[in-house]
Amino acid sequence: MGPPPRGWPRISSALFYDDAAKAIDWLCDAFGFTCRLRVEGDDGRIEHSELELAGGLVMIGSVSAKADRPVPLSCRSPKALGGWNTQSLCVVIDDVDAHCERARAAGAVIAEEPATTDYGPEYWADRTYRAIDPEGHQWWFMQRVRDQGQPS
């Protein structure tokens, strides 16, 4: 398998929002993403966007379907589904506690406060928290505090 295209990670995810333009601004403010591409269509609908954070990439788009698609995407915001999610994203960061406070100040719902989980000396220990964005997407933020095989 060859390398991915320049500037792209091997895998990325796409999330869909009822108000993708507002979501992009919020994700940048609350979680620290940088918007590297934002393609607006008719009436300001976000056709495609690319947000980066620490080498990762997530694409954000509007739930409304493009009329010229041969098969429309079946996309909904968790807001339209009573809060149900079919995925949650995990983002590795350097300082979970500071990141959590930034997200909280921007209005994120903190579903799980920062906590450290130690999986034992043969595994690793992480400090994580879970946040819910304004449309109900769930995000895990993780900081590795001990690598596999290191003493506690």
- pLDDT tens, position by position, 73-99: 677 777 877 877 778 899 999 999 999
What does the pLDDT average to over 24-48? 93
Please tell me the predicted confidence (pLDDT) of residue 143: 96
Q: Is 149 left (phi over 0), alpha (psi -120 to 50) or beta?
A: left
Domains and CATH numbers, the chain: 10-63 (3.30.720.120), 87-152 (3.30.720.110)
Mean pLDDT of the chain: 88
Cα 96-59-5 angle, rounded to 5 deg: 100
For residue 13, is pLDDT > 70? yes
Which residue type occupies 134?
A: P
pLDDT of residue 44: 82
What's the start-to-end Cα distance of the chain, in Å?
Answer: 37
How far apart CA 60 and CA 18 sit, in angstroms, is 11
Section 100-113 average pLDDT:
97
pLDDT of residue 68: 61
For the entire predicted model, the pTM comes to 0.86
